[in-house]
Copies of this chain bind each other. A is one copy, B any other.
Amino acid sequence: MDSQLQDYDPINGLKPSENCAVIGIYGNDTVFFKIYTSLRTLQHRGQEASGVAIFDGEKINALKVDGLVYEGFRPYIEKEIVPKGNIGIGHNRYSTAGIKNITGAGPFLISTAMGDMAISHNGEITNYQSLRDELKEQGVPFVTTNDTEVMLNLLARTIRQKGIKNGIRSSMEMLQGSYSAVLMIGEKMYAMRDPKGFRPLILGKAGNDIIISSESAAIDVLGGTIVRDVQPGEVVEIYNGDINTLFIMRSQRISHCMFEYVYFARPDSIIDGVEVYNSRYRLGVNLAKEAPVEADVVIPVPDSGRTQALSYAAELKMEYSEGLFKNRYSERTFIMPGNKERDSAVKLKLNPIKSVVQGKRIVLVDDSIVRGTTMKRIVALLRSFGAKEIHVRIASPKIVAPCYFGVDMKTRDQFIALNKSDDQISKEVGADSLAYLSIEGLVNSIGMPKKSLCLGCLTGEYPVKIAGEKEDIQTTLEL
C-alpha cells in the first residue's frame, strides 16, 4: 500500500480519528510500563502521538507525548515522572505530517460529577458533527474538534442519566460509524465495540492482569494469553478482576474491516478468530489461482507484499525471490531546496537485486494499490535494471470508494483504479499485465462470510447509511 500524508494542521485542530491503537490494562501493580510496552508493540497503528491515562486510586492522570512511543515517553521515564496506579489505558494516534502537537491526542480525559472518565478510541464516528451540535445545545463545551471527545461526552451524559449499563447502551444507539474503545470510569474499565465490529478489539490475561487490546500481539508481548475477541456490539465490564459482558447490542449485519487483514494489522495478530498471517498467505494463494502468469520469478514489494508473494509463488511452484532491497533508513524524506530528492525517494528506499531482475520475467506482488504513484516508480525502476516483463499482481480488489470507518482514504479522485480497467491501470503503471484479486477471492482468503465484512471501499456500498453513498442492502438481505 502506498503511504499517504494527511493534511494535518496543528492550528485548526484534528480531523476525525483514523485507525489507531487502543489498550487497557486492569492490573495488580504498576501498570505504566505495561501500557508503554503495549503501545510500542502497536506502534504500527499510529506514530503521531501517544498517551496513557491511569487511575491513581482517586482520580485519573494522563500523560501525552508526540512522536514515537519510545522517543516521546523517554524524558518522562528517565526523570521517573509517569502516572502511577494499577489500572489504565493507552492510545497511539495515526501518523500525520508537519509539526507534531499533542493537543487532542488520546486518551481523552474528563472530570465529571461521577468522577474522572477517560477513553481510548479506535474508529471513526460518522455522525459526530451532529452529536457534537446536540451536546453543545445541551451545554457541553468542546475543547477539540475530535470525534473521541464527542463520544466521551455523550457517554458521560447518558451514563449520568441512566446508569452505566443503560447509559452506554443509550450512547451506542446514537453513535454511528466504527468504534473499538476502552472506557474508564474511575477504576472501572469497559471494552466497547460497535455493533458492526468494524475495528478489532480483543481480551487477554497476563498473570492476574486483564488486557484489552486492538491486537493480540500486545497480549503476546506482555506474556499473556488471549481470552477472546470482544464481540460486535458487546460491552464488557472489567472490575475486581472479573470480565463480565454488560450487554450485546446485536446488529443485522457484521462488517469487519477487510483492510486489517490485507494491510493494517500485524501478521502475528489474531483478529476475530483469524490469524492475519494466514489470511495474507491465502490472499497470495487465491491471487495465484485467479491470476497466474508465466514468468521467471515472483518478487514482493517489501514489506507489504511479502507474505502474499511467497504464497503466490508456492501455489504456482514458481521461484520466489526478494528482488527489491528495502533500505531501512529511508523512511523519512524532505524536500531539499532547489533539489529533486523527493523524486529519488523511491530509489533511496528500494533498489533491485540485479541477478533477480535482469532479463527476467517478473511477477511483482503487492497487498493493495491506492494512488499507484509508488507502483509506477517501482515498475520503472525494475525496467531500468533490465526486467524483461513485469506482471503486477495485487492481492486485494480494486479500491474505488472512500472509507468512512477509520482508514485514511477520503476522496474518490485519489484512487488509480476508479473507472479504469485492469489494462488501463497496467498501462498507467507501465506494466506488461496487471491483475487484482476478486472480491470473492478476498472473502475466501479471510475465511469469513462476505456479510461479515465491510467491503465499502471496494464496492462503494456501505454497511451503514452514509449521506451521498449507497447502502449495502444486498448483503443485508442475505442475512
User: Which size bracket describes the interface of A in this complex?
Assistant: 35 or more
Chain B residues positioned under 8 Å from A217 (CB to CB): 325, 351
* Contact between B327 and A12, CB atoms less than 8 A apart: no
* Contact between A43 and B329, CB atoms less than 8 A apart: yes
Interface residue? A6 (CB, 8 A):
no
Which of A40, A43, A156, A319 has the largest number of chain B CB atoms within 10 A? A40
Interface residue? A414 (CB, 8 A):
no
Interface residue? A64 (CB, 8 A):
yes
* Contact between A322 and B310, CB atoms less than 8 A apart: yes
Q: Which of B11, B70, B140, B348 contacts A221 (CB 8 A)?
A: B348
Interface of A is mostly: mixed
Q: Which residues of A contact B (CB under 8 A)?
A: 9-13, 33, 37, 40-41, 43-44, 47, 56, 59, 61-64, 68-70, 74-84, 98-99, 102-103, 109-113, 117, 132-133, 136-143, 145, 152-153, 156-157, 160, 217, 220-221, 223, 266-268, 270, 275, 277-278, 303, 306-307, 310, 314, 319-322, 325, 327-330, 332-334, 336-337, 339, 341, 344, 347-348, 351-356, 385
* Contact between A329 and B40, CB atoms less than 8 A apart: yes
* Contact between A63 and B10, CB atoms less than 8 A apart: yes
* Contact between B140 and A143, CB atoms less than 8 A apart: no
Copies in the complex: 4
| A–B pairs, 15, beta carbons within 8 Å | A10-B76, A44-B329, A76-B99, A111-B132, A113-B133, A113-B137, A139-B140, A220-B351, A266-B351, A267-B325, A268-B353, A275-B353, A277-B325, A306-B322, A310-B321
- A307–B299 Cα distance when bound, in Å, is 13
Known contacts A40-B329, A267-B325, A354-B275; decide if A111 and B142 are in contact (CB<8 Å). Answer: yes
* Contact between A138 and B139, CB atoms less than 8 A apart: yes
